[in-house]
């Protein structure tokens, strides 16, 4: 990695660590409707005890909504050391949390469900990254993409690569926020 890219990466990492340290993302636990929609899509995949890769996991808020019987293993990855330390302190069963840049992170093994949790729109090369991670999916696995404010152009781009199944729209009227939780089928 050349020094300019390394400096850009370091700035991003420091920014995310700072945001988690000051509590900017502490409201994620209050996003119950969004997380429940993600859990509902995971269950709709009808894979008994799936292995889940949660990219952009933050401090592991998803695990507050998943029951241990909903999965066999979950690996959460986030750029922020601060967020990952907080996730590890929760000691969620059958979970591992790792600091990693999703541009370069290599997952150990394969997964039934790949979740991009509020992270794709921060990437310049989002479709390339999604395609790369689809290579770590089990045959006939799924990809779930949670997007703030729907981001229909991202869904359209991903639909060129993967089979679109459905979008669940979640509204938070108190904060005037909307999310699109998108499910894609991955074929090998």
Do strands 177-185 and 163-172 pair parallel, antiparallel, or not at all (unpaired)? antiparallel
- Percentage of residues in the chain with pLDDT exceeding 90? 71
Q: Is residue 3 part of a domain?
A: no
For 24-159, list the strands marked E by DSSP: 51-55, 73-78, 95-99, 111-117, 137-148
Which of residues 2 and 161 earns the better pLDDT score? 161
Residue 77 resides in a domain? yes
CB contact at 8 A, 73 and 93:
no
The answer to whether the pTM exceeds 0.75 is yes
Domain range holding 148?
A: 32-185
Number of domains forming the structure of the chain? 1
Task: Spell out the residues 6+ positions from residue 155 whose beta carbon is closer than 8 angstroms to its own.
Answer: 145, 147, 164, 167, 180, 182
For residue range 94-125, what is the model confidence (pLDDT) as tens digits?
999 999 999 999 999 999 999 999 999 888 89
* Tokens 């108190």 found at: 174
Whether 117 maps to a domain, the answer reads yes
Residue 21 belongs to some domain of the structure: no
pLDDT digits (tens, 9 = 90+) for 21-77: 666 555 654 689 999 999 999 999 999 999 999 999 999 999 999 999 999 999 999
Q: How far apart (Å, rounded) are the C-alpha atoms in residues 16 and 20?
A: 6
Domain membership flag for residue 36: yes
Q: What is the pLDDT of residue 26?
A: 58
Tell me whether residue 8 is in a domain. Answer: no
5, part of any domain: no
Query: Would you say residue 17 lies in a domain?
Result: no
Q: What DSSP state is assigned to residue 49?
A: S
- Between the alpha carbon of residue 78 and those of residues 140, 179, 184, the distances in Å are 25, 20, 22
The CATH number for 62's domain is 3.40.50.150
Q: What is the mean pLDDT of residues 11-17?
A: 68
């Amino acid at each position: 990695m050349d020094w300019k890219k390394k400096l850009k990466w370091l700035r991003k990492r420091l920014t995310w660590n700072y945001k988690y340290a000051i509590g900017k993302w502490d409201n994620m636990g209050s996003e119950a409707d969004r997380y429940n929609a993600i859990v509902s899509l995971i269950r709709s995949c009808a894979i008994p005890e799936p292995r889940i890769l949660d990219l952009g996991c933050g401090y592991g808020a998803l695990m507050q909504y998943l029951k241990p019987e909903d999965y066999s293993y979950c690996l959460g990855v986030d750029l922020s050391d601060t967020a990952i330390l907080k996730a590890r302190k929760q000691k969620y069963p059958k979970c591992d949390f790792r600091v990693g840049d999703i541009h370069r992170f290599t997952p150990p093994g394969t997964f039934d469900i790949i979740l991009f949790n509020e992270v794709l729109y921060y990437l310049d090369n989002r479709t390339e990254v999604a395609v790369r991670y689809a290579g770590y999916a089990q045959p006939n696995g799924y990809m779930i993409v949670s997007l703030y404010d729907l981001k229909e152009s991202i869904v359209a781009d991903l639909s060129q690569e993967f089979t679109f199944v459905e979008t669940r729209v979640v509204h938070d009227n108190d904060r005037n926020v909307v999310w699109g939780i998108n499910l894609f089928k991955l074929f090998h």
